[in-house]
Amino acid sequence: MSTEVRRALSPVERWYWIADQVSPLNVVAHVHLQGNIATGLLERAAAALVAEHPLLRVAITSDTGGTHPAFVPSQSACPVRRVHGDALEWERQADEHELASSLNWRSGPLVRIVDVELDSSAEEHDLLLTVSHIIADGTTALALLQGLIEHADRLAAVQDTDDLIASRPAIGAPEDLLPARYRGSQGVVRMAVAGLADLLAGALGTRPRRVLPEVAVRPSLRRTRLVRRKLTATQLDSLTRKCRQEGVTVHGALAAAMAMVIGPAAAKRGSGRIRIGSPVDFRAELNPPVSPDEAGAYVCTVPSIVRFGRGRDLWSIARQVNRSLRRRRRIGQHFALLSALRFMSPASVAKSAKVFGLPGQLLLSKKSRSLVPVTIMLVMLKGLLPVLVRVTV
């Protein structure tokens, strides 16, 4: 099997690539370390990590019009940046630089590292690993950071600078690994119809209203910001035990808390329904399954419509979230959303304005709210028409 990635970006990868050019789209993982880190050790560990993962050895090329992006091998080393600061410096680095600056996809690699050496009596470090969402999700970032530390631990006892690391085999794009029942023309039609039916039922039945921003900001000026909330070990243990007692997941409880806070503010009343997106990791459902420590973007967002208010407590709302996610996963909606990007992903940044701007514009007036699912339907049918013809014939 090949250990180098030479292929066109898949629709979901192209979607993230274009979005990143509109506004930086990075994933950041952090760990706090105590102890000495020898000079050059992180560079050696980063080189080993890059040598291990094919997707960390890629750059992206495109034609002169910014279309037809493709992965090509990159010879660039993973940069390691060093700064000094206090215990909050890593938060400032993440917020002001790592989330605000895109990685150089033209030269690669699509990963970089920051070593924050704390100004303290004992030697302490905060490590940040930033990777582009084009090739990573949150699980990927955490796994790569763990791999970096493990390589550093191994290399700390090895003086040989010519460390040889065997590369993992290159695997296909997420769409190429879908289960057989979700592939081909009939699979695309089945997923699109199921996803569209759910979208129409939810959108028309709940008459969605947009949560209006305090200030309208153009997409190119929007930035992902870091807001840190920390649970102590005691609090986390208490939360997980309570979730087990109530038969819900921690994610369900967090989503329920969002519904109880944001719902009344958005609905302008104490009860109603709200749509909340939840991340779904589909690695285990692919064919063949993809391990959690493999680089790639294998998470999609699935919406759930939940009721809040009228005496509903956190746990009853959390159960709504969990039931909705189980049902949507059972019918394969996460794969339907993934496949829909084949027809909705723009060809280039220059052609992305309608895709990124049209749904938001339609939601601005009450009259146009019902047009949102119709617009999405037309976009999907535009791509599905040849498929439908082939299936009918």
Residue limits of CATH 3.30.559.10 in the chain: 7-170
Supply the pTM of this predicted model. 0.85
Distance between alpha carbon 244 and the CA centroid of its chain, in Å? 27
So what's the pLDDT on residue 221? 87
CA distances from 240 to 14, 233, 244, 258, 261 (A): 37, 11, 6, 18, 21
So what's the pLDDT on residue 222? 86
Please state which of the four CATH numbers 2.160.10.10, 3.30.559.10, 3.40.50.1360, 1.10.10.60 is assigned to the domain occupying 7-170. 3.30.559.10
- pLDDT of 357 strictly over 60: no
So what's the pLDDT on residue 363? 32
Q: What percent of the chain clears pLDDT 70, i.e. is strictly above it?
A: 82
CATH of domain 175-392: 3.30.559
- Read off the pLDDT of each residue in 352-378 and give the average, rounded to a whole number: 43
- Helices (DSSP H) in 268-352: which residue ranges? 314-330, 333-344
Other beta carbons less than 10 A from residue 173's beta carbon: 19
Beta pairing partners, 82: 115
Q: Distance between CA atoms of 194 and 373, rounded to whole angstroms?
A: 13
**pLDDT, tens only, 290-322:** 999 999 999 998 888 899 999 999 999 999 999
**pLDDT, tens only, 54-104:** 999 999 999 988 999 999 999 999 999 999 999 999 999 999 999 999 999
**pLDDT, tens only, 248-276:** 999 999 999 999 999 998 888 889 999 89
Residue found by looking up tokens 């292929």 in the block:
7
**pLDDT, tens only, 197-231:** 666 655 555 566 667 778 888 888 888 999 999 99
So what's the pLDDT on residue 385? 35
So what's the pLDDT on residue 28? 97
